[in-house]
Structure 1
Amino acid sequence: MCRHLAFLGPEIPLHELIVGPKLGLYRQAWAPLHQKHGTVNADGFGVGWYAEGDPVPARYRRTGPMWADANFPDLARVVRSGAVLAAVRDATEPGADGEAAAAPFAAGPWLFSHNGAVRGWPSSLGGAAAGLPAEALLTLEARSDSALVWALALQRLRTGAELGQALADTVLQVAAAAPGSRLNVLLTDGTAVTATAWGDTLWYLADPGRSTVVASEPYDDDPHWVEVPDRTLLAATRTDVLLTPLKEPTA
């Protein structure tokens, strides 16, 4: 379900990350190579990026498939950024939320994306949702499993958790409440990226000291792509990548 990527490095056009690569996210919208669940990611897409000197990212999101948006290639050609999060969506279930359900979700300096599905949604996360403040539930961007997973992570961020801890604790909470869920998630604040491999593929490409890409699957044939083991938390900056195993929750 879905494909996504995050990039940290020198400013480059969005086109070089998303549209230009022969196996890029643009092509993954209809022909992903490593996707285990679903075949076409045509239920929406989105891109979030940071401008130099502004900690709050901009977003461009649409309801339909990326390839059907005639405006996006032009936008991608001229917009440049050194910190990007982008996603193409294959919806878990039909819904009427439109582009509000397309990642990246955002709040303050953070961008978030979920590649996967919460098993037993929505009843499986009733207990988790009950632990959120009413304001968090009333301001959900969409009525989807991904939006609620984001709300759980955001609550932790707002109470002071650092990126990796917020993401790991959220994934373990959801995995305990809904065993068998697929919870590959991406989170960035524009200076660091955290991600989890939990039930689907995750890769990274590092050019030490210059750039790091984290993605559901490689977008080119570069032999330096590294696959992240399942049940792993990834923490990356422009200069390094750290992998930490995650333990399956016990009953």
Structure 2
Amino acid sequence: MCRHLAYAGPAEPLGDLIMAPPHGLYRQSWAPRHQRYGTVNADGFGVGWYADGDPVPARYRRAGPIWADQSFADLARVVRTGALLAAVRDATLAGADAEAAAAPFAAGAWLFSHNGAVAGWPGSLAPVAATLPPGELLSLEARNDSALVWALVLARLRAGDDEGRALTETVLEVAAAAPASRLNLLLTNGSTVTATTWGDTLWYLSRPGGGTVVASEPYDDDPHWREVPDRTLLTASRTDVRLTPLKDPGGAAAPALGPTDAFVSAKEPRT
């Protein structure tokens, strides 16, 4: 469906996180190693990043494959950031929204991506969509499931929920309305990264020099990458990662996390 990545840590070029790694997001656009649904992510891509002193992120999005955009390759070589969210897209359904359908979606300081698909779209979420104000529905950036899921998350954020609660409540609401949906959500505000696993893969890397990477799959073979269990909420800062099991709407809880999985600090020595 897509591959996505978020980073918070010391500033470095976009390309060091997206283009340069041997199995980075750039290569995942045509040769992912852990993708369970779909094989080629060529239906658009996007990157959002934060500049020093500006809480509102910039975005670069295109409707075509990332490997065909030489302008982005040049930009990624020189633009540095301490936080980003990037995604390459494999569209669930063909549409006319072009780059507007490509993550990351944005509002204020937030960047958002959805890896997965809503089962039975669009009919399955009609009752859920009706809970949003008409103005928000009419102003959706794209007519796809990810844009509506983002609208549901954003409504909760604007109502005062923190990032973890906003993602959790949205996943549970959508999963109850549309069972068998895949809802790996990724959100950053430039300082923290929040994500869910619900039907697809997610990994994280706490780097010893500072910085946390959260991604659909590892971008290299560093043995310190850790896979996040399904049905889990991940909350990460530049130094710490916390994992919390999510409860299925049907009443079943995710498998309990081990004590070493529940909390990881990048400041601690790693073996």
TM range (shorter): over 0.9
Secondary structure of 1:170's aligned partner: helix
Aligned to 1:161: 161
Equivalent residues of 1:209, 1:238 under 8 A apart: no
Aligned to 1:72: 72
1:114 aligned partner, one-letter code: H
| Rg (Cα) greater in structure | 2
Equivalent residues of 1:26, 1:66 under 8 A apart: yes
Distance 1:250 1:230 in 2: 15
Asked if 1:227 is matched to 2:233, the reply is no
Aligned to 1:194: 194
Matches within 5 A, 1:134-173: 134-173=134-173
Aligned to 1:106: 106
1:174 aligned partner, one-letter code: V
Secondary structure of 2:70's aligned partner: coil
Aligned to 1:58: 58
TM-score normalised over the length of structure 2: 0.92
Asked if 1:46 is matched to 2:60, the reply is no
What is the root-mean-square deviation of aligned Cα atoms in Å?
0.9
Equivalent residues of 1:208, 1:238 under 8 A apart: no
Shift of 1:22: 0.6
TM-score normalised over the length of structure 1: 0.99
Asked if 1:24 is matched to 2:24, the reply is yes
Shift of 1:250: 2.2
Distance 2:176 2:208 in 1: 36
Distance 2:219 2:183 in 1: 21
Distance 1:207 1:35 in 2: 24
Shift of 1:207: 2.0
- Structure 1 runs (4+) greater than 3 angstroms displaced: none
2:133 aligned partner, one-letter code: P
Aligned to 2:7: 7
Unaligned runs of 5+ in 2: 252-271
- 1:210-244 Cα deviation digits (max 9, x unpaired): 10000000000100000000000000000100000
Distance 1:112 1:2 in 2: 13
Distance 1:125 1:54 in 2: 35
Asked if 1:92 is matched to 2:92, the reply is yes
Shift of 1:135: 1.4
Secondary structure of 1:71's aligned partner: helix
Shift of 1:163: 0.5
Identity of aligned residues (%): 75
Shift of 1:134: 1.0
Asked if 1:206 is matched to 2:187, the reply is no
